[in-house]
Structure 1
Amino acid sequence: MNEKNNFDIVRLSLAFIVLLVHSAEVTRNADIRFLSHFLNSDFAVRGFFAISGFLIAKSYLRSKSLTSYFIKRAQRILPAYIFVVIMCFVIGMCITTLPLVDFLKNKESIKYLIANFSFLNFIQPSLPGVFTNNPNQPMDGSLWTIKAELTLYVLLPFVLPLMKKSPLKVWTAIFIISSLWFFFFSMVYTGPKADTLAKQFISLASFFFFGSLLATHQPTFDRLKEITIVSLVLFLLFKNTDYSFLIEPIAFSSVVILFCTNLCSEIKISQYGDLSYGMYLYHWPIIQLLQHFGVFTANAYLGLLMTIVITLALAYTSWNLLESRFLKRAHHTPPSIAGSTARD
């Protein structure tokens, strides 16, 4: 496996795709609606999970103990996550239509803090009197993936030893369970929150653990180019059918990991820090604020540009003043894959 890689630039690109699609979907602005037609945020999110599965498997194998592994995970994920929840609450305090005392005493405000600090964002995604005139009210609709990722982090120490013994059999079992879950909640069950349930960690496990399979099973990794070509051809053939979800875990995961590890010469951006996680976390509340103050309504492209600039600035500041400081406390062996700091 190459020491040189493009994990940093690919992750940043995926975060940028999510930002662009959400700018169109959250504001529902007709001028930038084309972004959600030509770009696919589902691909980007699933690509994130494949990369995460790859890198976290490597990190787990380098960890001195299970405790060390979980400490590293907490140091990487929690500081920025806690900060963005607090940031959203402060934004709510500043722009709520309710009197401040009423806002602070409101059950929804208390419920928001409890639910989001517990990673149960779906229980209370919005705050009272905040963004009520926006097309969407959630404070940060991107946070739903964090609980899924944390759940997979917990499962990995149990799955990886089994995967090392019978890699293809174990991943196939995960794939079957994941596919059945997605099929049931997207095509059979039509009740409340069907779409939300379909996208939970069980369906994302096939992407995450395919990344882990590539990280730990050298014969599969050695055939990555062939796997990518075949799976992409099958995906294109079945793209507009009800069966595309069966191809996506392999097609999406393999193409993303291929870009990260084999496809082109290394593009170094590590000198600027690992901005992808911050970009993913912070872009939604920035979009909501700019929509609230009428920037997107006045000029959608100006709103989009301001979203990109402010989010990048916030991600850069977050990395240098918050995230990297917690990571420096993690005493672990330097990663064997250069630039793989995002989830290490």
Structure 2
Amino acid sequence: MENKLLIGPDLKVNNFDLLRCLLAVTVIFSHWFVIYYGKGIDTEPFMIFSRNQIDLGSVAVNGFFIISGFLIIHSYKHSYSFWAYLKKRVLRIYPGFFVAFIISMLLLGPLGTFDVDHPQGNLLLYFHSIRKKLFLLNLFTMQAPFAIRCFMTSPLPNQINESLWTIQYEFICYLAVPLFAYAGIFKKRWVALALFALAYLVLALQDFARIFLWESYQGKIISHPLYMPRFFAFFLAGACIYLFREKIARSFGLVALSILGLVISCVWFKGFNLVAPFALTYLIFYLAYFPGFNFQRFTKHGDFSYGIYLYAWPVQQLYMLFIGRELSLFSLFLLSLATTVLAAYASWRFVEKPFLQFKDRPGLLSFIPWQRLHVIGAKK
């Protein structure tokens, strides 16, 4: 009998690995227009289609948060303690970020000082510009690296690895999950809907009604609080799909309605962020659990999506600096994609995978006396 639910009974049979990889590649493609022209407005294809509302890279990042909301809620529910959950999340996200940050600041950034004006490099001024306290703050709070005197002849000077700024918000969502559990989302699922509605309301007021104007505020610990409602709305959308998965139907009509809603929000009114938490979320899970379309073994040789995201921007910046307009944008995209995949392979093989082996070793946090306290609300 054909399963009429959006998500089948076996949650492990899915295409999330393939989707995450495609989302990461989409980010590279979108960023090339920004790096090549120095702006995304009126240059990036989806920016043009959406009347300069949003680019494909941002759509892909929203997709990452939707998938994370689903998977992280599942991970928390099946963790035997808060510390076991936290350990898994730290080991998955921080080692890769740490190494990418260090490499970006101490290797790729300095390479960006070699240009036509400084054929021998401008290393002295580059390293002199690094503020040690800011370096450590950005490293341990998972923000984008900052230095000057690099990529000076590129359309986007001094931007070493701007993609890293979203990692902090991913981890903030991870830290919020235990609070969601304490609020009772596993026993009273309507609480999750209420939290999503709250995040969506703030996003709508901020993005559509322009009531909360936080654009001018930039913090030291949390770089841009402006983006919190957006990321929480998409993360909680994925979480709600997980919690209500046995009640959501698989319907081609809903797929058509979702696509139509997204197109209308781009072409007829500027409301993409109001439609996407519903429409984009449904489309992602429709594809993730599409019957007969099984790419479960897509990452049998390694999960490269995170590494692709970590290293794509500096690789693109270096190609733009040294090759620039000698090649077409599409050629640069293919060249940088191949290089980034190699960097992602190295990240997975030598950083991410070795650290993930520690996630099931209880001795790693044995010094915490309350380590074995059960997750509040996660177990019935």
**Same fold? TM cut 0.5:** yes
8 Å CA contact 2:316–2:336 kept in 1: the answer is: yes
| 2:30 alignment counterpart | 21
8 Å CA contact 2:28–2:333 kept in 1: the answer is: no
8 Å CA contact 1:149–1:201 kept in 2: the answer is: no
Quote how far apart the aligned CAs of 1:223 are. 5.4
In structure 2, distance between residues paired with 1:214 and 1:224: 15
Alpha carbons of structure 1 residues 224 and 62: separation in structure 2 relative to 1, 3 Å: farther
Alpha carbons of structure 1 residues 295 and 243: separation in structure 2 relative to 1, 3 Å: closer
Quote how far apart the aligned CAs of 1:265 are. 1.6
Return the match for 2:353 from 286, 310, 324.
Answer: 324
Return the match for 1:50 from 37, 58, 66.
Answer: 66
**Count of matched residue pairs:** 329
Aligned residue type for 1:166: K
| 1:12 alignment counterpart | 21
Aligned residue type for 1:327: L
Query: Which region of structure 1 is more displaced relative to structure 2, 70-79 or 243-252?
Result: 243-252
Return the match for 1:85 from 92, 101, 114.
Answer: 101
| 1:201 alignment counterpart | 228
- SS of the residue corresponding to residue 281 of structure 1 reads helix
Alpha carbons of structure 1 residues 281 and 228: separation in structure 2 relative to 1, 3 Å: same
Matches within 5 A, 1:237-316: 237-239=264-266, 240-267=268-295, 268-316=297-345
Structure 2 alignment gaps of length 5 or more? 1-8, 50-54, 363-380
Aligned residue type for 1:46: N
Alpha carbons of structure 1 residues 311 and 215: separation in structure 2 relative to 1, 3 Å: same
The answer to whether the aligner puts 1:216 opposite 2:243 as a matched pair is yes
In structure 2, distance between residues paired with 1:55 and 1:121: 23
8 Å CA contact 1:286–1:307 kept in 2: the answer is: yes
1:163-202 CA-to-partner distances (Å, cap 9, x unmatched) read: 2233245324433333324532563456744898575232
Give me the TM-score of the superposition, normalised by structure 1.
0.84
Alpha carbons of structure 1 residues 204 and 264: separation in structure 2 relative to 1, 3 Å: farther
Alpha carbons of structure 1 residues 192 and 203: separation in structure 2 relative to 1, 3 Å: closer
Give me the TM-score of the superposition, normalised by structure 2.
0.77
8 Å CA contact 1:58–1:215 kept in 2: the answer is: yes
Larger Rg: 2
| 1:135 alignment counterpart | 155
Structure 1 alignment gaps of length 5 or more? 334-344
In structure 2, distance between residues paired with 1:83 and 1:330: 18
Aligned residue type for 2:127: L
In structure 1, distance between residues paired with 2:253 and 2:188: 21
1:109-163 CA-to-partner distances (Å, cap 9, x unmatched) read: 43552342133636xx542210111111311111111111111101011113522
The answer to whether the aligner puts 1:113 opposite 2:97 as a matched pair is no
Aligned residue type for 2:289: T
8 Å CA contact 1:20–1:35 kept in 2: the answer is: no
Return the match for 1:174 from 196, 207, 218.
Answer: 196
Quote how far apart the aligned CAs of 1:242 are. 3.7
In structure 2, distance between residues paired with 1:164 and 1:224: 26
Alpha carbons of structure 1 residues 299 and 218: separation in structure 2 relative to 1, 3 Å: closer
- Structure with greater helix share of residues: 1
Aligned residue type for 1:64: Y
Quote how far apart the aligned CAs of 1:326 are. 0.6
Alpha carbons of structure 1 residues 4 and 190: separation in structure 2 relative to 1, 3 Å: closer
Q: CA RMSD in A?
A: 3.0
In structure 1, distance between residues paired with 2:169 and 2:291: 29
Quote how far apart the aligned CAs of 1:303 are. 1.9
Alpha carbons of structure 1 residues 218 and 184: separation in structure 2 relative to 1, 3 Å: closer
Quote how far apart the aligned CAs of 1:328 are. 1.1
In structure 2, distance between residues paired with 1:70 and 1:82: 17
The answer to whether the aligner puts 1:153 opposite 2:182 as a matched pair is no
